[in-house]
Each structure stands twice: as structure tokens, then as C-alpha cells.
Amino acid sequence: MSGELVTGLKCRLCGKLYPKEALNFCTDDFGPLEVAYDYEAVGRTFTREAIATRPRNMWRYRELLPVDGEPTVGRHVGGTPLIRADRLAKLLGVAELYIKNDAVNHPSLSFKDRVVAVALSKAVELGFETVGCASTGNLAGSVAANAAAAGLEAYVLIPEGLEQGKVLGATIYGAKVVAVRGNYDHVNRLCSQIAFRYGWGFVNVNLRPFYAEGSKSMGFEIAEELGWRAPDQVVAPMAGGSLIGKLHKSFLELETLGLLNGPVRTKMFGAQATGCNPISNTVKTGAGKVKPVRNPETIAKSLAIGDPADGWFASKLIRETGGWSEDVSDDAIVDNMRLLAETEGVWAETAGGVTLAVARRLIDEGKIDRDGSIVLCITGNGLKTQEALVDHLPRPVVIRPTLEEFEALVEAGVPAVLASA
């Protein structure tokens, strides 16, 4: 984690190098910037033995996270369970299935705490006192919570009409929450203007290169838990398209450093909702560029980014790794939220329903190999998207406190499953 491990920011289009500053695009060609490392220097301290002695959180992999000093924000983030999902595997007819459960990530119950921990630690290093984000919901809660714990002032901008759990889950931390009349793309554009106008640190705007690197920690954890091997197949939900790319990058970095048993042959599968499918559409049509979705319309609000910043790179990666992408209906999302809960005891938010629904579809179509290992990335918690379920689950049966009434109920059968399922 010494300053020399990160050599700078590099343009993903032309390769031009920039210093480690709050800057997210190349001034020559507007290409996105990515953190560049000196892997030889990283390898001096980043060994399996050294990693094994460190606490089970994302900072176990600190040499490959772009913070120069000690992390100051989100020091307990990560270290979420990788669950062997045998009951679900049996139902799907696959051999080796895992759930990476970031629905229980600390502190705000989504994978966004990983990206925020890095972005805000960097914001502190760069001297920002006010931070912010453009959010589809989970980022709002994560920036608000982590900023509160770090004593930073936070402005959180969201599209109007998000779920109550997401809105309260940001407001409770004392952040300034602003709902914008419009969709995420309007919010994002406004945030670029605000970051420039006020000189604040917006985690997914001017701090985006650092932010995005935080997602790699999810991949590092998966590989280490699997006995230092990259899975054969990963299914990840896509909003802006950043997470899926960083998962793959994490495996490649471990390979570069000689930490894996065997080569990386991971096929990446991307999941979206049909109501907002710009990336899956690009993969399926083989289009030369991403066609934005102007009016996203889905219950998977956390994934509703019509004009995804990393959409092109995500679709390219999916095709190059031999993976694929699909999108699914809102009904399928709800059914699969329930299936995940009923088979594995994991209550994921709508994005988790998207991931499982897409995985099932791709397994059925033979695009996902039933005999290879499969990791499903569950990225957010069901408590935050209750609106998606209230009309789809049975209400509790009410009885008087007598054994007779309970017996009559058991006799008749307690309604546990809705007819629609």
C-alpha cells in the first residue's frame, strides 16, 4: 500500500498516463481512465502467506487497491461468504454452484461498500471534505454510511421514485439526499456538473477510476475461497458495466502475480433486466456500440442505467471470454428472488433475482456449462427492495390463540406459496 505501487491513471483507449488525481477521462479522446500498477513491486509483498495473516476483509488485498497510505474509510468492508449452493444446484441441474453473498456486506448491505471504501479513502488522501455520488440506490446508502463514519459531508443524488428502503437507507446517515426529476442518466450528468462547479469528490464521477478498483476485491475473495483458482463461469448483474469487468481483472491480476493454481479461463456472463438492457442487447446483437435505453422501466432499479459508462467494455469482455448476456422480465425477477430465498435462505434484492433468472436461462440454453463451476454474484439485500415483493407473497394467516384453531389450520394447510409461482 505504499505510494509506489500505483504508477498512475491510464487511458483505456490510447494508453496515455496521468497522475493519481481526481480525474476520470482522457483529455485527448475522452477515454475512461484506469488505475495502473507496478506488478513487480506489488509481488514483493503480495504473497499467499502474507495475505493469510491479514484480517478477512477487502483490505487483505490492499496492494491491488489504489490507496497510498492506510485505508481510512470502510476498513471493515468485504469478507462476505461464498456459499456452496447445493440445493439450488440440484434444482438447476448443475454440478458446482456458489453464491457470493454481498447482500450482507458491511455496513450498507450491498457490494457498493467495496467501491466506496476505496473511493472515500482516496478522497481523504486527496483532501476532499465534501463527497457525493450519482446513485441508483445502493451507492447512495453506501456513500452516506461510509461518509458519516469518516466525518465527511455527503451529497447523494438519486432519480425520483426509488424504493423507500434505499431512500431512508441514505437519509438515516445524515447525508443530503436530493431526488432529481428524471432518470439515472440525468442524475449522472448533473453530478458531473456539480463535481466540476464545486470541486467536490464524486465517487463515481471524478473519483471513478479509484472507485471501480474496489470491485476487484469481490473477485479476489472468490478466487481465494475457491482455493486460489478462478471459477469457470461467473454471472454478474450489470448497471454501468463496471463490476463485471473488475471481477475478471481481479482473476487476471492474481494470475499475473503467480497466485493461482491454473490459468484463468473464466467465462463472464452479464445479467440485466429487459426494461433496461443496453449491455445485454449489445452482446446479443453484436452491435458495434451501445445503444442507450432512453426510458428504463423495471423493478430492478439498482441496475437501471440506460447509458452505461462501461457498457462497451463489458460487452466486449463478455464476448471475448466466451460468455454471454441475457435480460429478463420483472415477473422472472420476482420468481427468482423467491427461489433464491426458498432454496438457499438468501434474501437478495431485485438485482439478485435478475442474476439468478439470467443464470437459469443460460443454463437451459446450454450457454452455461452444467459441469463447470458457476459463481452467482449477489450484490444487494432484499430488505431494501420490499416493494417488489409485497403483492407477490402471501400474508400471514391470523388465528385466535387456541390449539384448536392451529390444528384446523395445519389440517387445511398453511398457505405458504402464492398460486402465481
Ligand X SMILES: *Cc1c(COP(=O)(O)O)cnc(C)c1O
For residue 348, give the nearest of 394, 302, 391 by alpha carbon: 302
Check residue 27 and report its DSSP letter.
Answer: T
In DSSP notation, 191-205 reads HHHHHHHH--EETTT
Shortest CB 152 distance to ligand X, Å: 21
Q: Is 351 in the site for ligand X (CB under 6 A)?
A: yes
Stretch that binds Zn ion, among 20-28, 315-323, 327-335, 355-363 (CB under 5 A): 20-28
Q: Which does 28 bind (CB under 5 to 8 A by kind): ligand X, Zn ion, none?
A: Zn ion
Residue 351 or residue 388: which is nearer to ligand X going by CB? 351
| 31 belongs to the binding site for Zn ion (CB under 5 A) | yes
Task: Candidates 141, 169, 237, 296: give the one binding ligand X (CB under 6 A).
Answer: 237
Core vs surface per residue 288-303: b (16+ CB within 10 A) or e: eebeebeebebbbbbb
Residue that has been written with the C-alpha cell 456538473 in this structure: 193
Segment lying near ligand X (by CB under 6 A), choices 8-16, 241-249, 287-295, 387-395: 241-249
Q: Does the N-terminal peptide bond of residue 159 adopt cis geometry, omega within 30 degrees of 0? A: no
Q: What is the distance between the alpha carbons of residues 143 and 403, in angstroms, rounded to a whole number?
A: 50
Interior CA angle at 67 toward 61 and 70, to 5°?
Answer: 80
All three cell numbers of 379, joined, read 450484490
- Print the binding letters for residues 264-303 with ligand X: x by CB under 6 A, - otherwise: --------------------------------------xx
Task: Report if residue 80 touches ligand X, rule: CB under 6 A.
Answer: no
The least distance separating ligand X from the CB of residue 313, rounded to whole angstroms, comes to: 11
Is residue 315 part of the contact set for ligand X (CB under 6 A)? no
Of 6, 92, 223, 243, the residue at the interface with ligand X (CB under 6 A) is 243
Q: What are the beta bridge partners of residue 101?
A: 378
Closest to ligand X by CB, 57 vs 272, is 272
Q: Which does 298 bind (CB under 5 to 8 A by kind): Zn ion, ligand X, none?
A: none
Task: Name the one range near Zn ion by CB under 5 A: 15-23, 50-58, 99-107, 411-419.
Answer: 15-23
Which of 11, 392, 364, 382 lies closest to 163, judged by CA?
382
**Within 13 Å, how many C-alpha atoms sit on residue 291's CB side?**
8
Per the DSSP assignment, residues forming a β-bridge with 201 are 131
Provide the mask over 354-383, with x wherever binding to ligand X is found by CB under 6 A and - wherever it is not.
Answer: -------------------------xx---
Phi, psi of 268, deg, nearest 5: -100, 130
Minimum distance, C-beta of residue 144 to ligand X, in the bound complex (Å): 14
Burial of 126 from C-beta contacts in 10 A (0-12 / 13-18 / 19+):
middle
State yes or no: residue 112 binds ligand X (CB under 6 A). Answer: yes
Residues that bind ligand X in the complex, under the rule CB under 6 A:
110, 112, 138, 237-243, 302-303, 349, 351, 379-380
Residues that bind Zn ion in the complex, under the rule CB under 5 A:
11, 13-14, 16, 26, 28-29, 31
